[in-house]
Amino acid sequence: MTDEQRGRVKIATSQKRVRVYLGGHLVADTDRPVLVWEIPYYPTYYIPVADLRAKLEPNGETRHSPSRGEAAVYDVIVDGVTAAGGALRYHDSPLPELNELVRLDWNAMDEWFEEDEPVYVHPRDPYSRVDILGSSRHVRVEIGGVVVADSHSPRILFETGLPARYYLPLTDVRLDLLQPSDTHSRCPYKGTADYWTVRIGDKEYPDIAWVYRTPLPESQKIAGLACFYNEKVDVWIDGVLEERPSSPFS
């Protein structure tokens, strides 16, 4: 991404109540959070300074952003608990909307809530949506020329900015080729995914498939279904080989 591209930062206000906790103590409570797209894929929350409940202690460090300017780094302190370097403030940003806001480091905090529901990984993007549709399309998945899944009852997940994902009943998958992985990932829209490595003969394809066993309520339709990275496998839809899509997971 060029400096010119990075200068085009999208900023939007939200009507959600957002609360942030550290060590069980309230760090921030606001009903006027600001969403800032520091990267194109998803936003981060900036909190009005007046809505902080924690102390910010400058640690002498600074960080520079081509789009947002020079930021002072702060330790976040609340009831004796400290998150070192857990906050940034842009006191004189070329984007004046940021000057009275605080950026709390997502991973430095323990819990984030939108209204009364926990949210993980990053804020939900108000311009993205997830649709999950039942389908009778014939989906066949091959890896190295070996059929690893064959189904006439997929659930197709359409997520803004990503390729369509084909979630398949486990009874339609070659479970004998799947080995549980230690890898797990979290999604603010779907929940926590467990991964599989596919082993065919002596060759392994690590973390190439996953399942959401207990997804978030809005994604219950994919519970217990297997999905493969169509960027990394061959997917046939109704007998036609799909071109492998390009995405951040390619």
Looking at residue 174, its pLDDT comes to: 98
**Which residue's entry shows tokens 């973390």?**
207
pLDDT tens digit string along 53-96? Answer: 999 999 999 999 999 999 999 999 999 999 999 999 999 999 99
Helix H or strand E segment including 29: strand 25-30
Cα end-to-end distance, the chain, whole Å: 18
Q: Give this prediction's pTM.
A: 0.82
Q: How far apart are the C-alpha atoms of 40 and 186, rounded to whole Å?
A: 19
Closest by CA position to 207, among listed 187, 193, 191: 193
pLDDT classification of 2: cutoffs 50, 70, 90 = very low
CA angle 26, 82, 115 (to 5 degrees): 25
Closest by CA position to 113, among listed 43, 54, 188: 188
**Residue 8 pLDDT > 80, yes or no?**
no
Task: Please state, for a pLDDT cut of 70, what percent of the chain lies above it.
Answer: 97
pLDDT tens digit string along 28-53? Answer: 999 999 999 998 889 999 999 999 99
How many CB atoms sit inside 10 A of residue 44's CB?
16
